[in-house]
Structure 1
Amino acid sequence: MMTAKFLSTIVLMAALAACGGHSARVEAGVPVATANWRAVATQPDRERLRDWRDAWMAALDRIRGSDAAELAAQGALFDPDHALLDGVPPAGDYRCRVFKLGGNGTAMAEFTRYPDDRCRIETNGGVSKFYKITGTQRQSGTIYPDSPSRAVFLGTLSLADEKRAMDYDRDDVRNLAGYFERVGEKRWRLVLPRPQFESILDVIELVPLQ
């Protein structure tokens, strides 16, 4: 008998393969009853957050040979140790670009850059949330304070025409964990180590829309 997690994995892989040019606004699927991310994060996500540097190094090692120019072109965006004060982006709409570093799967390149999408940061009652509004893979979730230069992101992944994000901690395959950091003047990144599919590391660049 197939387990629920196995079935969920099959469904997600099928959705990834079938994604077209659709987008949908989704609600963040993370409870916000506490500002302490450690009280919310699952054990697998704690491990991903703990081993963030290992993911960075593994991804960079995979692409330095063939895509060194792409790395250099983005400057501080791909410097794991470059993080300025004010890691949480202010509320507003952003142009965001997704970069997938280190192919995970035979069909994935070692470096993939997606077209510009639109993201949003919303703040309510001192709680900040992130939404990727357009694109076939849309991350959404809650931003938790962690240090002056870094914030923790816990959220989930929505695909294709899905209208609502799955609640965090409902399905490990859809859970996401990462860090928000500021890397330049009005330039932030969301780093997602070890996502379930396609890459070793995802980096989402955020720049305010003018």
Structure 2
Amino acid sequence: MAWSRLVGISIGVIVLGGCAHRTSAPADKPAPIASAPASGEANAVNWRQVATDADRARLRNWRDTWIEALAEARSADPQAIAADPALFDPDRALTDPLPPPGDYRCRTVKLGSAQQGLSRYVDYPGYPCRIEREDDVLSLTRYGGSQRPVGLIFPDTAARGVFLGTLMLGNQHRALDYGRDQDRDMAGFVERIGDARWRLALPRPAFESKLDLIEITPAP
């Protein structure tokens, strides 16, 4: 089968080249993102076939974005940056990068200011999130907070995976399809930065910051 571009990552259904897979979830939680083949399988979808042009550009220029955002954040709160070198080091990427399925705590740190007048460093409290196995890829869903990412994690290299998804805002219960609204689309790299510690780095998010780092640690 020739895989076409992913036309939508929706809550409960993902369509790849005309193939659909549906799942269900409790009414109080978003349904998990459905499945896609592993990159090592024949005819498997590659994240580059799925990502929008804008997201490929964001990922391609991730390092310049990181350095710029980090410099702004360090000028705003040098002690916070110095206190956690593993989280903020752009080159901190260990082998075996993908977190296993389970319950986690996701804490968002925003670096740099997307527009004048906004804070250059913001550290939010952690909220519950979950990694699930969706056949041969992983899904990530965050359940708390006003900005909640939900999407798929694709295998990429021995040191990172690629996240593609959308952003849920406020008290919304369903996410937009990926690719429908560029302001809601999210793209980033998943990396392991310590024992049982991962991060999702999201360059050039649509709102507030120049770089979002989501620390992912096992739930207490």
Superposition TM-score tier, normalisation by shorter sequence: 0.7 to 0.9
Of residues 24, 30, 38 in structure 2, which corresponds to 1:26? Answer: 30
- Shift of the 30–192 alpha-carbon distance from structure 1 to 2, 3 Å rule, reads farther
Identity within the alignment, %: 49
Deviation at 1:74, TM superposition (A): 1.6
CA-based RMSD: 1.6
Aligned equivalents of 1:187, 1:124: Cα separation in 2 = 21
Of residues 37, 40, 51 in structure 2, which corresponds to 1:41? Answer: 51
Match of 1:131?
141
Q: Which amino acid aligns with 2:64?
A: D
Of residues 69, 72, 88 in structure 1, which corresponds to 2:98? Answer: 88
Q: Is the 8 A contact 2:55 2:186 kept in 1?
A: yes
Match of 1:6?
none
Aligned equivalents of 1:172, 1:133: Cα separation in 2 = 22
- Residue segments in structure 1 that go unaligned for 5+ positions in a row: 1-23
Match of 2:157?
147
- Shift of the 30–159 alpha-carbon distance from structure 1 to 2, 3 Å rule, reads farther
Deviation at 1:171, TM superposition (A): 1.0
> Matched residue pairs, number?
187
Match of 2:80?
70
Aligned equivalents of 2:31, 2:188: Cα separation in 1 = 18
1:53-64 alignment, distance < 5 Å: 53-64=63-74
- Shift of the 36–102 alpha-carbon distance from structure 1 to 2, 3 Å rule, reads same
Aligned equivalents of 2:105, 2:68: Cα separation in 1 = 27
Deviation at 1:73, TM superposition (A): 1.2
Deviations 1:167-200 (A, max 9, x none): 1111111100000000000000000000011000
Deviation at 1:32, TM superposition (A): 3.1
Q: Which amino acid aligns with 1:189?
A: R
Deviation at 1:28, TM superposition (A): 5.7
Deviation at 1:41, TM superposition (A): 0.4
Aligned equivalents of 1:30, 1:202: Cα separation in 2 = 25
Match of 1:207?
217
Deviation at 1:107, TM superposition (A): 4.4
- Residue segments in structure 2 that go unaligned for 5+ positions in a row: 1-27, 38-43
Deviation at 1:156, TM superposition (A): 0.3
Match of 1:119?
129
Higher helix share: 1
Aligned equivalents of 2:32, 2:187: Cα separation in 1 = 13
* Helix, strand or coil at the partner of 1:104: coil
Of residues 159, 178, 186 in structure 2, which corresponds to 1:176? Answer: 186
Aligned equivalents of 1:54, 1:154: Cα separation in 2 = 20
Aligned equivalents of 1:108, 1:31: Cα separation in 2 = 38
Match of 2:15?
none
Aligned equivalents of 1:124, 1:66: Cα separation in 2 = 40
Q: Is the 8 A contact 2:35 2:135 kept in 1?
A: no
Report the TM-score, using the length of structure 1 for normalisation. 0.84
* Helix, strand or coil at the partner of 2:132: strand
* Helix, strand or coil at the partner of 1:71: helix
* Helix, strand or coil at the partner of 2:104: strand
- Shift of the 170–60 alpha-carbon distance from structure 1 to 2, 3 Å rule, reads same
